[in-house]
Amino acid sequence: MTDIATAAADRVLSGRAWDDFCENLRRAGHMVDRFGDEAEPLDKAEWYRFMTRLARNAFERYMENSEPDRPRLRDAPWRQGINFQSPDQDHLLAEFIDGSREYKITGNRGTIPYFVMASWNAKQPADIGARDWAEKGVEGLKEFDPATLQTTGFLQSNSIDFDADGNFEVTVSQKPYRQNWLRITADCVGLLIRNVYHERGKETPPTFKIELLGDAEPRPIRADEVAQNLAKSGQMVLGYAELVRSWWQDNLSKRPNRVRFSQATYLSNGGVADRHFGFGTWDVPPTKALVLEFTPPECEYWIFQLCNMWQENLDNYEDGQGYVTKFTAHYEPGGLVRVVISATDPGIGANWVETFGHVKGGMGLRLIKTNNPPPVTVYLVSLDDLKAKGLASLTAESAIVSGEVTD
């Protein structure tokens, strides 16, 4: 064993790696204190649930699914939504640490219209299992951050050759291949496949299997690997806690009730360049309604979704509420989409999205395979006025032109 591996193994066998992981989790949980009274009781309760979901996700990804010799593509844990995750999109992940190897993905496309494969890297020094991280706090994320992912290669399904039955084979490697090739780099830390459904109940999901090319004998896990995976798990929880804090306090909350499209923001956390994503925050007391109007351009798919402060879909998404998509929306003449965000339905025939006990949170408008995100007009009006006067309450004086593209 190398000196790093020996030190990492000693940390696990002594219990120090476990203590460091637990301390990292404890500190991440208390980051909600930085929001003070801005976070309502419901927001705070959901924060602690968010922490448990992050921990569950971290264990699934790193403790169970990070063997470079035995890769797997596994779905993200149920109800784990990170960074405005679409209810119409499934995420399959393979975590591995050896970008110098070659892999093969085989499967069948099913009947969904579109999926995209991506590879990514992250800040990750070689000795993560040999060091303590909790005492560094968020400063340690500058050196080691499993939550801030950079996409280094992607392959869209429309660029893959399928046989007559929808079967395919993709090579994953640094070495280029003429067709069906997903590029990885030497510092690759994993893969993500995004499956995009139009009407989930009517479509057959695709199947995927990944395998290492070359000989690899099965073996037991090593103590130094457990140290690495515990460090990744704790640091991932801390990283996402800091990410949602900084996005809210340093960025999005400074522009309430507006949407801004930024490729840099989206790509800063594992996004792929096949889509535009408009991020914003909403602040709607029970007596108010927020009305958004936009005309979607030609695209593969779009979704508007309402989230809590921690970028999670509201709990009513399981009932078909909390979001509107290209295939569920009511359109006005000319293709205009009008979305009303409020505690109760004002009954004006628009796409109503219920706030479900919240008064503020994040919102996102995602458009896949388009070059032209739309402008978005926003109105914050009295809910009683909207119920009584209908569209007449949406005046030019109260309109906020939003949806700007910053990069």
The SS3 call for residue 107 is strand
Strands (E), 85-131: 89-95, 103-108, 114-123
**Residue 393 and residue 236: Cα distance in Å, rounded?**
46
Q: Using CA atoms of 51, 253, 363, 369 in order, give the dihedral in degrees to the nearest 10.
A: -100
* pLDDT, tens digit only, all 407 positions of the chain: 799 999 999 999 999 999 999 999 999 999 999 999 999 999 999 999 999 999 999 999 999 988 888 899 998 877 777 778 898 999 999 987 678 899 999 999 999 999 999 999 999 999 999 999 999 999 999 999 999 999 999 999 999 999 999 999 999 999 999 899 999 999 999 999 999 999 998 999 999 999 999 888 888 999 999 999 999 999 999 999 999 999 999 988 889 999 999 877 776 666 777 889 999 999 999 999 999 999 999 999 999 999 999 999 999 988 889 999 999 999 999 999 999 999 999 999 999 999 999 999 999 999 999 988 999 999 999 999 999 999 999 998 888 888 777 87
From CA 91, how far away is CA 77, in angstroms rounded? 9
pLDDT recorded at residue 115:
95
Residue 301, pLDDT score: 95
Q: What is the pLDDT of residue 269?
A: 64
- DSSP class per residue in 60-98: IIIISS--TTS---EEPPTT---SS--TTEEEEEEE-S-
| pTM for the predicted model, two decimal places | 0.93
Inter-residue contact 68 to 212 (CB < 8 Å) = yes
- The letter for the amino acid at 61 is R
Tokens of 9: 């193994």
Return the CATH number of the domain spanning residue range 251-405.
2.60.120.1600
Q: Which residues is 219 bridged to in the sheet?
A: none
What residue ranges do the domains of the chain occupy?
3-246, 251-405
State residue 270's pLDDT score.
Answer: 66
Q: Quote the pLDDT of residue 80.
A: 75
d(CA 180, CA 159): 7
**Rounded distance between C-alpha atoms, residue 185 and residue 196, angstroms:** 25
Burial class (CB within 10 angstroms; exposed 0-12, middle 13-18, buried 19+) of 404:
middle
Determine the pLDDT at residue 126.
92
Report the distance separating Cα 302 and Cα 296, nearest Å.
8
